[in-house]
């Protein structure tokens, strides 16, 4: 099985179905932020966030907690007969053989699959896992505002569109009042803030050599995923992935041309989100 191709095909299908301002939310439910392992409590990362969010949206799961088949059994649960798992990916370090070229080091990362079930698919789990998860009682807009302030990015308002001006290292935004909801304002601001992290003085994100003419579209995909990861961490469930036809078509083109692209995009977006949240 070609894991990268399988994952890429799933993300392409998700993009081609599309989301809109009134459509499915990538965070899946009001009880969820980032997907987590129900046994360890650890959050999933990178491409696995997208795969699990997509599964939550498709199956309308109310919980963001996941288990392997063995973990469910270890907790006294039983995956119901007929339930289907979702494939996720981890990387295993593999040492190169003596006859393999070593210009890029003595080892490489090999993508390996593993499978998860949502706790909604499991019977007999402890009550504390299956009890309804309370919605965090915090003002999401205030928390997001603190992220923008503490980034120390230069943000100017009063423009007709939102964009990051790389030469001036400045984010330009319409006024808050012009947005349809606070969530959409912060999702847009965090999209531009993700672009801001790519500046050479920060994460120095460059894709021209690898993606050529598609580098702009790829950076836009990174920015949108970075914003999605950040608002997911904040629990802001009413912000959605942009679904303009030209965006989606350009993203799908990049992913179809390079089966590794979505892995790179998710990885770079996660680094950007971590950078933003760490500040």
pLDDT tens digits along 30-69: 345 689 999 999 999 989 999 998 888 788 787 889 999 9
Identify whether 57 is part of a domain.
yes
Full residue range of the structural domain in which residue 262 is found? 139-279
Lowest mean pLDDT among 5-9, 150-154, 242-246: 242-246
> Of 87, 113, 134, which marks where a domain is finished?
134
Q: Answer yes or no: is pLDDT of 195 > 70.
A: yes
Q: Answer yes or no: is pLDDT of 214 > 80.
A: yes
pTM: 0.71
Identify whether 76 is part of a domain.
yes
With bands split at pLDDT 50, 70 and 90, how would you rate the model's confidence at 136?
A: very low
Q: What whole-number distance in Å separates Cα of residue 269 and Cα of residue 168? A: 22
Q: Answer yes or no: is pLDDT of 199 > 80.
A: yes
Pairwise pLDDT comparison (104 vs 94), residue with the higher score: 94
115 and 206 belong to one structural domain = no
Q: Which of 81, 8, 64, 49 is nearest to 260 (CA)?
A: 8
Q: What whole-number distance in Å separates Cα of residue 205 and Cα of residue 169? A: 14
Q: What whole-number distance in Å separates Cα of residue 133 and Cα of residue 149? A: 30
> Of 83, 112, 134, which marks where a domain is finished?
134
Please give the pLDDT value at position 97.
72
What are phi and psi for residue 80, nearest 5 degrees? -65, 145
Average pLDDT, integer, range 8-14: 80
> Of 134, 152, 177, which marks where a domain is finished?
134
Please give the pLDDT value at position 31.
42
Q: Answer yes or no: is pLDDT of 88 > 50.
A: yes
Tally the domains of the chain: 2
SS3 139: coil
Q: 155: which 2 tokens?
A: 């943000």
Identify whether 255 is part of a domain.
yes
109 and 239 belong to one structural domain = no
Identify whether 20 is part of a domain.
no
Q: pLDDT, tens digit, for every residue of 106-127?
A: 677 788 999 999 998 999 999 8
């Amino acid at each position: 099985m070609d894991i990268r191709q399988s994952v890429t095909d799933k993300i392409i299908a998700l993009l081609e179905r599309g989301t809109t301002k009134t459509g499915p939310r990538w965070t899946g439910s009001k009880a969820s932020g980032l997907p987590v392992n129900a046994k360890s409590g650890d959050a999933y990362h990178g491409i696995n966030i997208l795969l699990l969010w997509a599964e939550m949206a498709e199956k309308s799961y109310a919980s963001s907690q996941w288990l392997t088949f063995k973990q469910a059994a270890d907790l006294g649960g039983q995956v119901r007969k007929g339930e289907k798992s979702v494939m996720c990916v981890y990387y295993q370090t593999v040492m190169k053989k003596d006859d393999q070229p070593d210009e890029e080091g003595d080892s490489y990362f090999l993508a390996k699959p593993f499978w998860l079930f949502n706790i909604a698919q499991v019977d007999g789990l402890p009550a504390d896992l299956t009890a309804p998860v309370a919605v965090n009682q915090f003002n999401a807009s205030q928390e997001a505002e603190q992220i923008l302030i503490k980034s120390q990015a230069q943000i100017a308002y009063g423009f007709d569109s939102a964009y990051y001006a790389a030469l001036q290292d400045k984010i330009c935004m319409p006024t808050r009042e012009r947005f349809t909801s606070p969530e959409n304002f912060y999702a847009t601001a965090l999209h531009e803030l993700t672009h801001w992290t790519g500046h050479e003085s920060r994460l120095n994100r460059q894709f021209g050599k690898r993606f050529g003419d598609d580098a702009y579209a790829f950076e836009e995909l990174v920015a949108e995923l970075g914003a999605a990861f950040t608002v997911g961490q904040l629990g802001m469930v009413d912000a959605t992935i942009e679904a303009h036809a030209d965006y989606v078509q350009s993203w799908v083109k990049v992913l179809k041309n390079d089966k590794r692209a979505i892995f790179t995009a998710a990885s770079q977006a996660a680094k950007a989100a971590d950078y933003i949240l760490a500040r």
